[in-house]
Structure 1
Amino acid sequence: MDPYSIFSDIVAGRAPASRVFEDDDVVAFMDIRPFTPGHVLVIPKQPARNLAELDPEIGAKLFQVGQRLAAALRDSEVAADGVNFFLADGIAAGQEVFHVHLHVIPRTSGDGFGLRGRPTSPHRADLDYLASSIRGTLERS
């Protein structure tokens, strides 16, 4: 794995970042291209290009820190009414920086941010078929 990314530089202190949280495992900082004011990224200090490479305990820590940040975004000057978490895993999912990162996006009414997909309404038989396939894969792993 190529350990280089801008996030590795931030962890090492070689690139600037407006940090909001840091411990031995993760660092959280302001996104320089925020979807909404107060948008924060939470990253593991140990680089992982994707979720398959991420230690599950560190993955849990990303979300624990995200949860704390969500509360802080509500109580700070950001005054968020809600919060979205977003994590892109792979090119098809929109991942641009190949160092796992959790977006913590504060939301307010009318902020203009949102998912722009078109939900479908599959038949129950199709849902059951896919559920069986996924369940089988989980049981083998």
Structure 2
Amino acid sequence: MAADTIFSKIVRGEIPCHKVWEDDRHLAFLDIRPMKPGHTLVIPKVAVDYLFDMDPEAYGALMQAVRTVARLLKERTGCQRVVEIVLGYEVPHAHVHLIPTNAMADLPPLAGSPGDHGELAKLAARLRGP
């Protein structure tokens, strides 16, 4: 269980938000520092710090909520795509960013530097395990 977070306070109505969508387990609201108009956060109402610590059922339900909100954003903003970003450090409460886009140019650069193929092969082998 995560600590009491700003998102928990939003869920309880102690801090206002610009609500976009809600069901009994999830809340979607506009990011107050949007990358693009319509940038929305989707959160579970019950705080869990790390997205991948959620139990499988809760994680699946969150991803269904994300899908619902992404469809709503695409339909109502007229964008070509809605991108999904999970960073996991800004607030210790699992959340997914949904950003309406019309081109890759709408987003900050996501690519790193080209990797060394020898090092990439070693890492892939380590990740696959014995």
TM-score in terms of structure 2 length: 0.83
Runs of 4+ in 1 over 6 A off after TM superposition: none
Q: How big is the alpha-carbon RMSD for the aligned residues of Structure 1 and Structure 2?
A: 2.3
Residue 120 of structure 2 corresponds to: 127
Residue 31 of structure 1 corresponds to: 31
Distance 1:38 1:111, change over 3 A: farther
Q: Tell me, what secondary structure is at the counterpart of 2:91? A: coil
User: CA–CA distance in 2 between the matches of 1:44 and 1:132?
Assistant: 35
**How far has the Cα of 1:114 moved from its partner?**
2.6
Q: 1:78-121, CA deviations, whole angstroms, 9 ceiling, x for partnerless residues?
A: 211112111113xxxxx221111100011024764232433414
Q: Which moved more, 1:96-105 or 1:46-55?
A: 46-55
**1:21–1:28 contact (8 Å) kept in structure 2:** yes
What is the number of equivalent residue pairs in this alignment?
130
Unaligned runs of 5+ in 2: none
Residue 83 of structure 1 corresponds to: 82
Residue 92 of structure 1 corresponds to: none
Map 1:1-141; keep pairs closer than 5 Å: 3-76=3-76, 78-89=77-88, 95-109=89-103, 112-123=106-117, 125-136=118-129
User: CA–CA distance in 1 between the matches of 2:7 and 2:39?
Assistant: 16
User: CA–CA distance in 2 between the matches of 1:58 and 1:44?
Assistant: 8
TM-score in terms of structure 1 length: 0.78
Unaligned runs of 5+ in 1: 90-94
Q: Percent identity?
A: 37
Q: Tell me, what secondary structure is at the counterpart of 1:48? A: coil
